[in-house]
Amino acid sequence: MAASEDSLRRALAEKQAAVDAQGEAVRAIKARPGASKEEIDAAVEALKALKVEHGAAARRLQATVSSNGDGSSKEAFRQAVVNTLERRLFYIPSFKIYRGVAGLYDYGPPGCAVKSNVLAFWRQHFVLEENILEVDCPCVTPEIVLKASGHVDKFTDLMVKDEKTGTCYRADHLLKDYCKGKLEKDLTLSPEKAAEFKHVIAVLDDLSVEELGAKLKEYDIRAPDTGNPLSDPYPFNLMFQTSIGPSGLLPGYMRPETAQGIFVNFKDLYYYNGNKLPFAAAQIGQAFRNEDLVLLHLWQNSQTNCSGAFLLIS
């Protein structure tokens, strides 16, 4: 499919070159003294025929690009499902009457029922049938734990900021959206440039801060809402910070993943299992990550996931 797209891009480029050349020929004939009407009409008809072929090639390429990528039909289907789930109250944006906060949702009656059934099935399949050791740990974790695990220093996303309004964006999302937009909408891309954009998308997660910033500058990517220039990428920690106790002297975080409680309880679980390996442990609960921005630049979105963690320790 990729090879077909490349060949269609080459064919479209050839058609465009032919249209441009014929256009120049028509202008030259018209500018030449003594050119007959028949000669001009023939050149114009040839130009029209080439434009028809160019349009057909563009439509074939557009159809191929749409089927290769996410495509508008897939996005339309996703939006229809989202609208149905919200309309029937499977879930609804939290605090909707106060404009809401992106990433926070409430379960409605059918959503609560589905969630309960999924958790019951998960527990029956993994915990009961496989004799897995289940734990239930607090959502708040002292900083010392997450410092030891590396979350305090490394659990980050790279962000950029609108230099005039202060609105923040995920740097990798902006770069990915730019590349996908070019691939899906710019039919004049050469096969080489299209391959470059596909490569950027493929290695996006491996780009360093410097490489990501260089790509944003190379493609002149700007703030999507205002068109203003963006800052250099900077790390933003995804954990929600809090303090434990009224003194505020014990810093903590909302846990970013449910597995952390299993790790810190390893010794006790090992003892409970008769000091024998291997054993498996599991936890069902919420994890909190402060990611994906965007209502107002002063608001920080969050994402609260009900998730299951499963570890096999041997």
Mean pLDDT over residues 258-262, rounded? 90
Q: How far apart are CA 314 and CA 306, in angstroms?
A: 27
Torsion of CA 264, 270, 273, 274, to 10 degrees: -150
- pLDDT, one tens digit per residue, over 141-170 is 999 999 999 999 989 999 999 999 999 999
pLDDT grade, residue 307 (50/70/90)? very low
- In percent, the amount of the chain with pLDDT more than 70 equals 89
User: Taken in order 48, 52, 55, 61, is the CA torsion positive or negative?
Assistant: negative
Q: How far apart are CA 80 and CA 118, in angstroms?
A: 23
Neighbour order of strands in the sheet with 279-289: 133-134, 279-289, 303-313
Q: Following DSSP, what letter does each residue of 208-235 receive, concatenated?
A: -HHHHHHHHHHTT---TTT---BPPPEE
Determine phi and psi for 143, rounding to 5 degrees.
-60, -35
Amino acid present at 257: E
Question: What is the pTM assigned to this prediction?
Answer: 0.64
Q: How many other C-beta atoms lie within 10 A of the C-beta of residue 128?
A: 10
- pLDDT, one tens digit per residue, over 267-279 is 999 999 999 999 9
Greater confidence, 171 or 290? 171
